[in-house]
Structure formats: C-alpha cells, structure tokens
Structure 1
C-alpha cells in the first residue's frame, strides 16, 4: 500500500478526499458492516458538513489536478455506496441511514454533480416514499430527503421546467401518504413536502389542484391530528391557490376559510355573543341573492353540540384556519389580490369581543360548565386573532 502524503495543515484541500474515504471505511455501513447507532450517523453528517467534504470545489488551493481526480473519485464512491444502502430494503436500518445521507448529499454536493444525478436520486427515494412494505421511519426519511432535493433543485433557474415535471410525479404519492391511517410523523413529513412543492414549483400542482384540496381538507378535518400537524396542513391549504396563481382562486379559498371559521364560532360561542353574528358574517362573505352553502369540505357550517371534545377540536381548527388566513395575507402571490378587509376585521373583532361573560340578551340556559370550558380556551383564540390582525396590517402594506 502506497504511503500517504503528509498534508500541509488542516486547511489543505488534499485532506478532503482522504477524510471522506476514512468515513466510508470506518463509519459508513456497507453490506458487511452493520449500522451502529444514531450517534455514528450524526458524526458522519457533522464531519461532512464541517469540512465540506462533498463540494469538489476547484479553487486556487487545488493547483494539482491529481487532487481534483482523487476528490471526484472519492465522492463518486460515496454516492455509489449511498445508492447501494438506499436499495437495501431487506435491512431497514441501513436503508434508512442511506436515505438520510442522500438528503445531506443533495444539499452538500457540487452543482454539476447534483444536476447530473438528482433525477436518479429522486427515483430511488420515491420508491421508498410510495412503498407499501417499508417501515414508517423509512418513509419519513424519504420524504425529508426528497424535500432537501427539491429545495436544492429550486436554486437552479434553468432547471425550472424539469423541476416542475419531476415534482409533478411526487404529488400522487405524497397525497396518498397524507390520507393513510399512519403516524403523525409521516403526515407531518408529507405535509412539509407538499408545502415545499407549492412554494418552489407551484405549476406542478396545477392539474392536481382539486385532488390536493380534497386530500388536505380531509386530513385537516379528520380530528386525528395534533396541533403541530394541523399547523403544517393549514399552511398547505393557504399555499394551494399559488398553483393556479389567479385572483379568483385566492378569493375562493379565503372565502371558504372565513365561512367555516364563522360557522364554527357560532357553535363555540353559543350563548356568549349576540345571535346575529353569523348573519353579519354571511352578508359580507356571500354575494346578495346567493344562499350560503350548507357545508364546505364535507363539514356542516352550523350545527349544535354540547360535546366538549368536539368543541375542543373545532377550536383547534378555528385557530389553525386563522393561521391559514395569516399565511395567505403575508405570502407573496403571482398576481395582486384585493383583501376582504371588512370580513377579516369583523372576524378579529368577533373573537376579541368574547370574554366569557354572558350578554344581557343571551339565553338563560347557558350551562356553567360550557361557559367555563370556552373561557379556558379563549386565550388561544385571542392570540391567533391578534396574529391575524397583524397579518392584515402587513398584507395591506405590501
């Protein structure tokens, strides 16, 4: 075995291919070496990022072409090893490690390597994202690495057309993941990926708009999600009109959200506000002569229930939908839209005016426990209302 040349110092670029090969030899799993621990994976990622081992930069510090070839060869072997791990479905831990590291590679490798390889990498990752046999944690890792890939792809304006084509292939598998009765982690990963597609490659969603809206709404109103997942899905709902990019789509989405929110508040605030609030909201949201819809996204706008758990779920939904409104008001949009300021301010006022006290004209049959329950939830509703007010001001100044 040839003797290794001494390096000049810690900044010597000739050290990078050597460090990368040492990582592959000592830490990276292969067919025979087992995956040891999360700590080992964390150490690999930290070393790769700290020392920029995958960048293949050809600066003045690389006067000798043999160093360039050694570095290129080392990164070639690194990428090949990762693809081998990703393809190893029989050993989920190694497959998972390979998927995670491929996501890191998407962000850290050179532009030339990324553009030459991303289509192959995406195919490999997509196999696991839509697999019916892979474990949940492998699917979550696949979604996360695909997210890293499309974020990097969005950095190249000349790849926009190909990017729209490739990301369009993601949509059906991602929407299916969102609809599966699986884990919160997978729902959240799928929702984050969907948000990224809407933000970075909105045109890819145009043909799938109705299916996407139905899938997002179905999960949002399922009653199975934590507030963290609801928050991400609410952002998806807010970003959806960007894929069409016209004013009508933006107004239609905002109108649906405001009708649902006002309908739910009528139930939640029953007995704690004047009974005319729903009619006032409808007058501002529904054109004269039209009848307000009985339901939206499969949800009745008006219904009565004393079930505390249902009300708690609806309060979470109202809070997250107000967050959707805030996102729509503060996110850039392809065309200028007219903000329904009166309807939005009326909603903010409606929530902030309720403090839990009983109006003089209210029904005498408000149950004390219901009053106590609403009072316990009001601070959250007030908080999101104030955030919406801030967003209204920001939106009007844009």
Structure 2
C-alpha cells in the first residue's frame, strides 16, 4: 500500500508538472525569447494568455458537468496527451492565430490536469485514508514552474525559440508516462464510505458570496504576475537578463507552499491564513513599482510563488472542509470567477503596458483589486458562520 500511495502521488505531481508547468507556465519565460526573436508584442502576449484562460474556463465548464468517474479518468488522460500536443503546436510556426489555438487548447488541458487530475487523486487518497497529503500533490504546480523555467533557460544560449518549444514537448512526453501509468483507474479499490461524506454545518450564502468575491480578486492577482513576471523584470534596465531567474524563484517558492500554508491554517484557521496570503501578495505586487533593485525583484518573485498557490490550496481545502457533501459544485462556482478574472486581467494589463511602456499601472490596478479581496475576508470573519473555522481546520483536514 505504501508503494502504491507513493506512485499515485508521483503520478499526480507528474500530471501537474505536465499540464501546468509545461503546457501552461512555460509560456511565461518563453515570452521574452519570443519577443526578441519573433517580434511578439506585449499586447499580443496578453491576448495569448487570455486565450489560454478562455480555454481553461471552457474546460472548467465542461468538467463541472461530469459525474461519472470513469469518464473523468478518460478525459484526464486525453488532457495529458493534449498538453504535449499543444506544446508542440507552438513550435510549428510563428503565426499568431496558431499560437492562439495552441494556448486555447493548452487551457483545456490545464483544466483537465488541475480539476480532473486533482479530483481523481483526491478520490484515491480519501478512499485510502490519505486525505492530508493533498498538499503534497499541489506541490506539483510549483515544481512545474521550476522545471519548465529550467528547461527554457538552460538551453536558451544554444537553440532558438522554436527549439525551446520542441524541448518542452519532449519533456512533456517524458512526464506523460508516469502520469498515465501510475494513476489507478477509479473503479479499482474500496468505494467511498459514509464516514468520508459525513454532513457538517455549512456557512450561509453571504459567507459564500464573500468568498467568491475574494477568490475572484485573487484571480486578478495571480494571472498578471503569472503572465508578465519575466517581462516586468526584463523591462527594468538594471535587471535585464534576470527575468528567467525570477521565474525560477517563483517555482522554487511555490513548490513547498501548499504544505506550509496547510500547517499555518491548522494553527490559525483558514481565513486568517488567507488574510496573510493576500497581504503578502499585495506587498509582492507593489515591490517592483517602488523599487527597481534586484532585491525587490527577488522578494517579489518569492512572495508571489509563496502566496498564489497557497491561496488556491487554502480556498479549495476550506471548501472541502465546509461543504463536505458537495465540494465539487462549490469549487466549480468559485473557480468560474477565478477563471473569468484570468481572461480579463492579462488582456487589460498587456494593453496598459503597451500604452504606458511599463507595467506599473497594471500592478497598481491588481494591488487595489487584491485589497478588495482582503476586505471580503475581513467581513467574512465578522459573520457568525466563521466561528467554527479554526475548529474545522484543526479537526477535519
């Protein structure tokens, strides 16, 4: 059982590295090389990111309608293959329409990898009483960022942008094997029992609307940094050539973040931990606006990596705790708003950067939106329903 548990966790991590790190996040460090070698503009970079998130949102809407575990398993495996194919599509030509198709389909693959893959892993962990290890699974997102960035940066002096995409495709093909082979089919094993789905007191509708508002704001905070961190660094004269290194720092900080935030939430409660996450991310967003130093860039990258995946894992885990009888429906509702923000934000940020020549206005805009999300969390703490938050976080996850 211990060997199988390890293989399942490695399978889930490999799936996230493939669908998130390669199919999605490798685009971020690649933007700088594509701009230098193909003339990719800030505005087009933002539009391509918007197409990626539109694909993610489309995939999310599809996923939320699925109920059959075997169908989810088949679609997840299709998403794994699609992640490899869409990465290869980026290398075929320098036509913007082809890149747009690639990014849209990569978004579908990302939705499958994150939502379907995580759901299948969670289902297996719950059936085998390993629920507390889901944080280890989410570490695959940070590892994906780090591995994708390393793959891009290490070969940059030797091959052009097209060769970099082909290398990423080969990396994805390697990751496909453990992600596919080591994940058991969902009809294998002990079915869920009543103890796994015991009912609990759910928060009221106002609490949920405030959480949705806060998570919507987090979508803005996440996507602008996820899309433009490399460019924001590269456009500062004193930091030219450091963009790829900053993105690797994001991945380095994100890899252990789910486990660290889970530990904090067990001590202080989910809402308090989320407030810390939002506050630290606001600081990280504003640092490049007020300082062009390497220290500020490093701190900003580390804070973003630490907080963005922490916020996602905390929110989704809190939903699982507070809505144990139907977490998928609530997760889908929250992720819908998060996905809409991911479509709008990179387009607006890219256009603002194109008009102003820098990303300061975009970062200030995002910091204000994140502050609004922080305000939603503060109001949630004042509602009677949140009184059990600390007990829930300590006793049920």
TM-score surpassing 0.5? Answer: no
TM tier relative to shorter chain: under 0.3
More helix by share: 2
Q: Flag the structure with larger Rg.
A: 1
TM-score (norm 2): 0.25
